[in-house]
Amino acid sequence: MPVGTQGSVKSLSPEDLEDAGVRIILANTYHLYLRPGHEVIGRLGGLHRFMNWSRPILTDSGGFQVYSLAGLRRISKEGVTFQSHLDGSKHFIGPEEAIEIQESLGADIIMTLDECAPYPSDYDYVLNSVKLTTLWARRCVEKKRNKAQTLFGIIQGGMYSDLREMSARDLTKMDFDGYAIGGLSVGEDRETRDRVIKETRDFLPEDKPVYLMGVGAPEDLVEAVMLGVDMFDCVMPTRNARNGTLFAFTGRMNIKNVQYVDDERPVEKGCLCYTCRHFSRAYLRHLFMARELLAYRLNTIHNIYYYMHLMEEMRCAIEEDRFDSYRRHFYKLQGKS
């Protein structure tokens, strides 16, 4: 799902998202807690109304952003004390606060507060982090009041197979509506990541959605879907768009390249996104070189549409029991067969 860090998916309106086929967006609790504040959003009727977005929203627990504030945060059994990256003010978020904030924001799917261990971390650190994550998950379940919201638990355990198993067993006992695999995409190699996804997936119930957090590139999605993952979130389509990298089924392109200066073709032949239906590579290159704001929007629309299209194709292939052949086709189109 596209990520809306601060109450919008960067450069897009709700209609842009709907037109690109987006069914759910992610909003970052940490950012919205600090600005404009979850109480403000709560008073204004919640995030859906604030953003004018009527489809589902998922909010993260704020944990991941807080851990990224290295040097500015301290973790205890109670929760996390941290300083705002905006003004240095001091704040505390524990599992109860994470739920309270997410209830004010009013997303459809909310997440437990977890501790994402740095990579690499030694066994004892990760063991402790798994225990803390379980403890906090239980406190989140106990705190949660709003039955209209579904709560996902987050599995941790670093790259240690037995700790992933421990975390998955602890959390599945609490019978969450869905399960997220956290603590990946933190610097580990591809092989390790795939192993951990597979091992973690094996301990999760078949009938609940599995959400791989913070992943990833198109090929990462294809591999993870093969391993049984259902949901993803990532800044990759939007951030790349703003850097001029456009995704296509035949590979990526850097729209800055001089070869596109008078290229009349759309980004990808046959693509039905708004951008490809209306504008040439030459125009997109020109807007980008001239740093026109429209460049970021048109690029983002294309990349989001590409991701939605890829996920839709994978859903179809799974339903029609031909995922392996779709996967081969996917790599073949990119010249990687």
Q: Are 153 and 138 in contact (CB under 8 A)?
A: no
Catalytic residue among 16, 19, 60, 170: 60
Told to check if 68 binds its own copies by CB under 8 A, we report no
Instruction: Candidates 87, 148, 293, 335: give the one binding its own copies (CB under 8 A).
Output: 293
| CA 39 to centroid of chain Cα atoms | 24
SS3 of residue 256 by DSSP: coil
Take residue 11 and report the two structure tokens written for it: 């450069």
Instruction: Candidates 74, 169, 278, 328: give the one binding its own copies (CB under 8 A).
Output: 278
Amino acid at 34: L
Minimum distance from residue 289 beta carbon to its own copies (Å): 7
233 is catalytic: yes
Told to check if 84 binds its own copies by CB under 8 A, we report no
Told to check if 241 binds its own copies by CB under 8 A, we report no
Q: Are 73 and 91 in contact (CB under 8 A)?
A: no
Of 286 and 329, CB closest to its own copies: 286
SS3 of residue 279 by DSSP: coil
Told to check if 59 binds its own copies by CB under 8 A, we report no
16 is catalytic: no
Instruction: Candidates 75, 235, 271, 282: give the one binding its own copies (CB under 8 A).
Output: 282
Instruction: Candidates 264, 270, 335, 337: give the one binding its own copies (CB under 8 A).
Output: 264
What is the spatial distance between Cα 330 and Cα 337, in angstroms, rounded to a whole number? 9
What is the spatial distance between Cα 52 and Cα 98, in angstroms, rounded to a whole number? 23
Q: Is the dihedral of CA 7, 13, 18, 19 positive or negative?
A: negative
Strands 150-155 vs 109-111: parallel, antiparallel or unpaired: parallel
Nearest Cα neighbor of 9 from 18, 253, 222, 39 is: 18
Minimum distance from residue 92 beta carbon to its own copies (Å): 23
What is the spatial distance between Cα 22 and Cα 323, in angstroms, rounded to a whole number? 22
Minimum distance from residue 239 beta carbon to its own copies (Å): 12
SS3 of residue 235 by DSSP: coil
Nearest Cα neighbor of 84 from 95, 73, 97 is: 73
Instruction: Candidates 208, 239, 286, 327: give the one binding its own copies (CB under 8 A).
Output: 286
Told to check if 46 binds its own copies by CB under 8 A, we report no
What is the spatial distance between Cα 154 and Cα 180, in angstroms, rounded to a whole number? 5
Beta bridge partners of 3: 26
Told to check if 31 binds its own copies by CB under 8 A, we report yes
Instruction: Candidates 38, 48, 139, 297: give the one binding its own copies (CB under 8 A).
Output: 297
Residues touching its own copies: how many (CB under 8 A)? 36
Instruction: Candidates 54, 55, 68, 261: give the one binding its own copies (CB under 8 A).
Output: 261
- Piece of the chain touching its own copies by CB under 8 A; list 170-178, 193-201, 249-257, 259-267: 259-267
Minimum distance from residue 101 beta carbon to its own copies (Å): 16
* Active site residues per annotation: 60, 233
Contact residues: its own copies, CB under 8 A = 6-8, 10-14, 31, 35-36, 40, 43-44, 50-52, 261-262, 264, 278-280, 282-283, 285-287, 289-290, 292-294, 296-298
